[in-house]
Every structure is written in structure tokens, then in C-alpha cells.
Amino acid sequence: MKWDTLDEEPCSLSRTVAVVGDRWTLLILRECFLRVRRFEGFQSSLQITRHLLSERLKKLVRFGILRRVPYSEAPKRYEYILTQKGLDLYPIIMAMVHWGDTHMGDERGRPLLHEHKNCGKLFDPVMVCSECGEPLHAKQVHVHAGPGRKEAVG
Amino acid sequence: MKWDTLDEEPCSLSRTVAVVGDRWTLLILRECFLRVRRFEGFQSSLQITRHLLSERLKKLVRFGILRRVPYSEAPKRYEYILTQKGLDLYPIIMAMVHWGDTHMGDERGRPLLHEHKNCGKLFDPVMVCSECGEPLHAKQVHVHAGPGRKEAVG
DNA sequence: GTTTGACAGTTCTATTTTAGAACTATAGCC
DNA sequence: GGCTATAGTTCTAAAATAGAACTGTCAAAC
């Protein structure tokens, strides 16, 4: 597989996988959503090798998920802030957390609880249809080839 | 990182990443949701090496995402069917597809369109709060340590 | 004014994973 | 017997990751 052009495949899943489809990247993003911003912060909480962390942060910046922002001029120091494109990954992360809560739990109970500030309650994320608002299930969805697929296939 | 025990970390994201946190696994799951079930089917549509495909299918069966079901007795042939645990991965896949549609699109338009059979319309998936039904955004969520975290940390 | 420590990386070698291709095994069909 | 289909396994080469040490800048402590 040519992983270097995966982000140009005529498949939105492939394109997303090209960006966030590896273990370290997903764990780094978890830390981002937990408000970690600095190299040493990621490194110490994840125990990732510095080499790979450096590599992954560069990639996330290159794809516009993180912005490298200086927070000190001398010495030059940067922190990594989620862009809007990065913040929009939240449903993916939350969907993964929720699946883990549901299917990979143990007797100790949930590791984290999530409170929705708007309503003040502890919640679970639910995926619904943008048109009718009903919860979505795989078997209720029919897939059609869109223009981007038809053009690519010929 | 000890990837072999990632599924026991006191973090639901880590546990999910342990199961679906690599590129091939995510692409295999895409095919599953597109109704692919057989070894040759996965292999030819993904161009994955047979070795890795075999490896990943075993892992997905081991984690209870797929069930290996015989469809021919002589010679013994099996197909791989999503379990309920596997079907529950749908929000993750759809969240990724939607992010790709939104942020990784090109001038050719969307590769796939999704129709919700219940309401008959083309839709996008939206993640909402289980309690108030409002769409969720990262900045509106406050995270608390749950019992599983507290016990693990001490 | 030299040492220590914090931070943000880079460089190096050893190990593990993945790619790519060939091979094995069972059975139906001609 | 020879050909094809399916579902794998085995092998070697290439690529990615782990783990540790090293670099460079500056502030603060001694």
C-alpha cells in the first residue's frame, strides 16, 4: 500500500486514516483534548520516544490539525494547539472512547466521565441522523456512490 | 509502549486503539461495513498482503469484532461477519468518514453518499449529547476522573 | 562565571513490523 | 491428470519503531 498517497484516495475513510490512522497519533490527540500542548507534556504522559513524538507532531502540523505557536522567544519554544480542523476530530475521539466504555470496560468502572457544560449532566455521545435526528445504526444506512467516486472510477 | 497490554490501560480510548488503532484494521472494517465477508474479497479490494490480512482477521476475531463462520464444509471455507460489538464500531467509522468529507475533500465531490433508510434522506452523522440532545463540541465538555481511573491511579 | 536544570528537539543502533512474492492445501470441473 | 478457486502459510527485504544518548539555548543557583 502506498501510504503516502492514502490521503488522495477516493474514499473519505482512507483520507482520514491517512491522518489519524495510527496508534500514537490517536493517543497524542487524546492528550490534546485533555489540554496538553507541549513537547515534554506529551512525552512524559505518553512515554512515546522523542523521535516519534517529533515526527507525529510535524505530521499533524502539516495536515493542519495542530498549529505550532511560539510561547517563548528566548529560547524559542513552541506549543501545539488544536486548529478548528483538529477540534473537529472530537466526534471520532469520543466515538472511540464510548465504544471502549461500552465494550472494553472492566470491573473498576469507567476511567473518565464526561459532563456536558450546556446541560450540566454526565452524558454519552450518540450519533444521530442530521435529517431526522434518530440514532444511527449500520443496518439502516444505504450507501450510494457519490460524484467523487464515480469520477475516480471512471 | 507495551502495545500488547494497551487494552488494559485505564483509558477507554487506549482500549479502543488497541483494537482498531491501525490503518489496515480500519480499512478492513470499512470493507466489512460495505458487506465484504471473505478473505479474497478483502485481499483484492484492499491490496493488503495475505499475511497481514490473515493476521488482522485473527485479531479482530480474538477481540470479538468479527465471527468466523463456515459457509462451505468441503473444502472448509469461512467468512467473517461483524458481531454486535463490531457493528457498534459504526459511529467511529462514520465519524471518520464525515471528517474526511468535511476536511479532506477535493474538487471531485464526495466519494460516497449515505441514505438513512428510516427517513429516506441523504444525511451526515451528527454527534449529540445523550441527555439534552444538543450537538457536542469539544469545548463544551468537562472531563472528570471516573471510578476506573481513580482505582488505577490509587 | 561555572554548574545545574528545563525544554525541544536530533541522532544513533537494535528490534519489530510490514511489503511482496512464492508456496501449500483442499476440492470441483473438464 | 490439469486447471481454477479459495484460504491461508512461509520466506526475505525493506520500513517503522524502541530505547537511549546527544545537542543547543537560556535561566537560575551556587
pLDDT grade for B27, boundaries at 50, 70 and 90: very high
Answer yes or no: is pLDDT of A74 > 90.
no
Rg (CA), chain A: 18
Q: How far is B149 from chain A (nearest CA, A)?
A: 4
Give the pLDDT of residue B74.
83
Task: Answer whether A100's CB lies under 8 Å from B15's CB.
Answer: yes
Describe the strand order of the beta sheet including B121-122 as a list of residue ranges.
A141-145, B112-116, B121-122
Judging by DSSP bridges, how do beta strands B141-145 and A112-116 pair with one another? antiparallel
pLDDT, average across residues A99-118: 97
Give the pLDDT of residue A154.
64
Encode pLDDT of B85-99 as tens digits: 999 999 999 999 999
Find out whether the peptide bond into A75 is cis, omega within 30 degrees of 0: yes
Q: Buried b / exposed e across A145-154, counting CB within 10 Å, b at 16+? A: ebebbeeeee
Contact residues, chain A, for B132 at CB < 8 Å = 116, 118-119, 121, 123
Residue whose Cα is closest to the C1' of C26: B75
Nearest nucleotide (CA of A43 to C1'): C8
pLDDT, average across residues A90-117: 97
- Shortest CA distance to A18 belongs to which of B47, B88, B100, B150? B100
Q: Round to a whole number and report the distance in Å from the CA of A108 to the C1' of D12.
A: 46
pLDDT grade for B1, boundaries at 50, 70 and 90: confident
Q: Please report, as a single letter, which amino acid is at residue A79.
A: E
Question: All domains of chain B, ordered by start, with CATH?
Answer: 1-88 (1.10.10.10), 108-154 (no CATH)
Answer yes or no: is pLDDT of A33 > 80.
yes
Give the pLDDT of residue B153.
74
Give the pLDDT of residue B99.
98
Instruction: Judge: B143–A89 Cβ closer than 8 Å, yes or no.
Output: no
Answer yes or no: is pLDDT of B154 > 70.
no
